[in-house]
Structure 1
Amino acid sequence: MRTTFINKVTEMARKDKDIYLITGDLGFSVFENFEKEFSDRFINVGIAESAMIGIAAGLALNGKKIYVYSIAPFLTMRCFEQIRVDLCYQNLNVNLIGVGGGLSYGASGATHHAIEDIAIMRSLPNMKVICPGDPFETENIVEQVLNIGGPTYIRLNKNREPRLYTKKNINFQIGKAIRVFEGNDVSIIATGNMLEQSINISKRLKEIGYSVNLISMHTIKPIDINIINECISNTKYIFTMEEHNVIGGLASAVSEVVVSSRLEHVTFKAFGIPDVYADCAGSRDYFRKKYNIDEDNIFNEMTKILNENGFESYN
C-alpha cells in the first residue's frame, strides 16, 4: 500500500502543482524520487509531528493540497490537538496518511501498535476515516480525497500486499462499501488489513454450504448505512472484522446502525483486538493468534455461533 500511495501521489503531482507531501523524519527509501522531482513541494519537518500539522494547515489555508505521512500512532495520537483545532475545526483539505495500521509494527511493541487510531479519528467532527484493504482501494482513495475536501485519515498497512479484487470495472467511491461476495445467509463486514483474511474465511464458509455476503467497508466514516441495512434485511448473522480495538472502530460504527434498526432477528459478533495493550512484542501473525483474530480462530468461532444458534437462512 505504501508503494501504491507514493506512486499515485507522484503521478498526480506531475499534473497538479498544488500537491505537497509532508513527513516527519520518515519515508526513507520511499520518498527519494518524489523529493528529487518536486523538491519545492516535499517537506521533511524532522521529529516534530505537531509542527508538521501546523505547517500542513498553513499550506492548506493557501489553497494547497496536502498529504501528511507518518507512522499511524505518531500521527493520530501525538498530534491529536493540532489535528482537532488546526484541521478539523477549520475543515481543511489535508490528508493524513498513517502507515502501519493495527499490528503492522508488531515487533516494535505497544508504542507502535495502532489499535485506537480509528476510534480517535472517528470522534472528530469533519474528519473522514478510510482504511483500504489492498492496493486497488488505496490508489482510488488517494486520488478521490482531493476532490471531496476537508480532512481525511487514511490508514495503510505497510507494503507488498496483494491485489484482492478479481472483478473488473469495480465502481469505487469513498463512503460506498464494496460487495466482494453476494449471499443471503451470513454477512461479513471487514475493513483494512483484515480484508484478505475475510476473503479466505468467506471461501471456507462457502465450501461448507453457507451463502456469504462479504463487504469491504473501506470507509469507516462516513459509514455506508445503506449497505449495512441491506445486510440486516437479507441475512440473519452479521460479523465484523478489524485489526483495531473492538471499542470505537468498525464494530462500533456498524453496531450503531444495527441497534438503530431495532430488528430482533440479527445476531451480531465483532472480531477485533480486545481492550488491552500488548504485554510483549512479536509478529502480526503472533498477535493475531494471541488475540484470537487469526483466520482459523475466526472461522471456528463463526461456525460455532452458527451451529449453536441452529443456523437457518433468514431468507
Structure 2
Amino acid sequence: MSEIKKIATRESYGNALAELGKEHEDIIVLDADLAGATKTATFKKEVPNRFFDCGIAECNMAGIAAGLSTCGKVPFMSSFAMFAAGRAYEQVRNSIGYPHLNVKIGATHAGISVGEDGATHQCIEDIALMREIPGMTVINPADDIEARAAVRAAYEHEGPVYMRFGRLAIPVINDETTYKFELGKGIEMKSGKDVTIIATGLCVGESLAAAKMLAQDGIDAQVINIHTIKPIDEDIIVNAAKATGKVVTVEEHSVIGGLGSAVADVLCEKQPTKMMKIGVNDVFGESGPAVELIHKYGLDAEGIYGKIKDFLA
C-alpha cells in the first residue's frame, strides 16, 4: 500500500503564491522577517521585485498592505497567526477591515501543531478574532489541495481575507482531479445517518479517520469539511442537523469563538440540535512535539472517536 502524501499547508501557501505571482502582476507579497517559515520565500524566488520584507513589524506591515491595496495592488501580508491576527489586530481591524480593503492575510503556524514553539506562538484564538471583524472572510483549509485552491479564491475575491495555515505536514485527503473550492460552501466528505462531524483544517482528516473507527462500532458518522468559517455554509449545517439530530464540531482552536461557536450560532437560530464542541478547552497550549500535542488535546482520530462515543452514550 502506497504511503499517504503529507504536506504542510504553509508550503501550499508559498507554492500557490508563486504560481499566482507569475500570472498576475498586481500581486505583492509582504512578510515580517519570516519568509523561510511562512514559505513566502518561494514567491520571492520567482518574483523578487514584488516581495518586501517589512521586518519584525507586523502592525506596520498591515498599514503598508492597506496602502498598497488603495493603489490597485493585491497585497498578501504574511506572518505567524499569533502575530498576523494577534499582534496586528488593531491595524487589521481599523486599517483593513473598517475600510474593507482588498488585503489578503496569510497566517501560518496556527494552532497547537506549531509544537515546540509553545503557548506564546500557538495561536488558538485567531479564528475568533478574525470572524468578529465585519466583512472579513475566514478560511481554514484541510490539506494541500484545498489550501492552494483557497489562495487562488482569496485573490479572486474582492475584500479582506484571512487564511489560516499550519506548520505540521498533514495527509492530502482531497483528489486534485475532482476537487472544487467554493468560498462559503461546506463539503460533505462522508455521508452518515447517526451523527454529523463538522470539522475544519487538519481536524478534517482526523475526523475521517475517527469516522472509520466509529463505523467498526456500528456508528454511521457523516463528516463535513467547513473550509470557509466566514461566511459559513448555513444550509449544509442545518440539513445535516435535520438528518442526524446530533452534531459534533472539531477544530484545532479554542472552543470559544471558533468553528464550534459559528455552527452553534446557526443551529440555535435555525435548527436547535444536540451538539458538542471538540477543541482546545479554554487553556493555553504548551511546548512539545506537534503530533503528541494533538493527541494530548484529544484532536487526533483516537481522541475524537472517544469523545463522540461518550457524547452518543
TM-score interval, smaller chain: over 0.9
Cα distance in structure 1, aligned partners of 2:176 and 2:186: 15
| Structure with max Cα Rg | 1
Deviation at 1:242, TM superposition (A): 0.3
Deviation at 1:204, TM superposition (A): 1.3
Deviation per CA, 1:52-87: give whole Å up to 9, x if none: 001101110001011111111011111011001110
1:21 is aligned to 2:37: no
User: Match of 1:28, SS?
Assistant: helix
User: Match of 1:91, SS?
Assistant: coil
Kept in 2, the 8 Å contact 1:101–1:156? The answer is yes
Deviation at 1:210, TM superposition (A): 2.0
Which of 289, 306, 309 is the matching residue for 1:283?
289
Which of 135, 144, 151 is the matching residue for 1:142?
151
Deviation at 1:166, TM superposition (A): 4.3
Deviation at 1:2, TM superposition (A): 1.9
Deviation per CA, 1:141-195: give whole Å up to 9, x if none: 1001122211111000125332102484233201101110012221000001211
Cα distance in structure 1, aligned partners of 2:110 and 2:42: 24
Cα distance in structure 2, aligned partners of 1:36 and 1:137: 23
- 2:6 aligned partner: none
- 1:294 aligned partner: 300
User: Match of 2:224, SS?
Assistant: strand
Aligned residue pairs total 304
- 2:185 aligned partner: 176
User: Match of 1:154, SS?
Assistant: strand
Match of 1:284, as an amino acid?
A
1:267 is aligned to 2:270: no
Deviation at 1:35, TM superposition (A): 2.1
Change (3 A) 1:19 1:114: same
Cα distance in structure 1, aligned partners of 2:41 and 2:278: 38
Deviation per CA, 1:113-157: give whole Å up to 9, x if none: 111010001110011111001011101110011222111110001
- 1:34 aligned partner: 43
Change (3 A) 1:36 1:232: closer
The 5-angstrom pairing of residues 188-207 of structure 1 reads 188-207=197-216
Match of 2:21, as an amino acid?
A
Deviation at 1:244, TM superposition (A): 0.6
Kept in 1, the 8 Å contact 2:194–2:222? The answer is yes
User: Match of 1:3, SS?
Assistant: helix
1:238 is aligned to 2:247: yes
Cα distance in structure 2, aligned partners of 1:170 and 1:211: 24
Kept in 1, the 8 Å contact 2:143–2:201? The answer is yes
Kept in 1, the 8 Å contact 2:113–2:294? The answer is no
Cα distance in structure 2, aligned partners of 1:161 and 1:34: 22
Kept in 1, the 8 Å contact 2:28–2:73? The answer is yes
- 2:3 aligned partner: none
**Unaligned residue ranges in structure 1 (runs of 5+):** 309-315
Cα distance in structure 2, aligned partners of 1:291 and 1:98: 22
Match of 2:301, as an amino acid?
E
The 5-angstrom pairing of residues 51-130 of structure 1 reads 51-130=60-139
Kept in 2, the 8 Å contact 1:109–1:281? The answer is yes
1:4 is aligned to 2:12: yes
Change (3 A) 1:292 1:162: closer
Kept in 1, the 8 Å contact 2:114–2:166? The answer is no
Change (3 A) 1:38 1:293: closer
Q: Between 198-207 and 124-133, report the one with greater CA deviation.
A: 198-207
Deviation at 1:22, TM superposition (A): 0.5
**Unaligned residue ranges in structure 2 (runs of 5+):** 1-8
Deviation per CA, 1:236-287: give whole Å up to 9, x if none: 2110000111000000000111111254xx3211100010123x42122333
Change (3 A) 1:32 1:116: closer
Instruction: Provide the alpha-carbon RMSD of the alignment.
Output: 1.6
Match of 2:137, as an amino acid?
K
Match of 1:293, as an amino acid?
L
- 1:311 aligned partner: none
Kept in 2, the 8 Å contact 1:172–1:178? The answer is no
TM-score (norm 2): 0.92
Deviation at 1:302, TM superposition (A): 1.0
Cα distance in structure 2, aligned partners of 1:297 and 1:28: 33
TM-score (norm 1): 0.92
Kept in 1, the 8 Å contact 2:192–2:222? The answer is yes
Match of 1:258, as an amino acid?
L
Match of 1:207, as an amino acid?
Q
Cα distance in structure 2, aligned partners of 1:305 and 1:160: 30
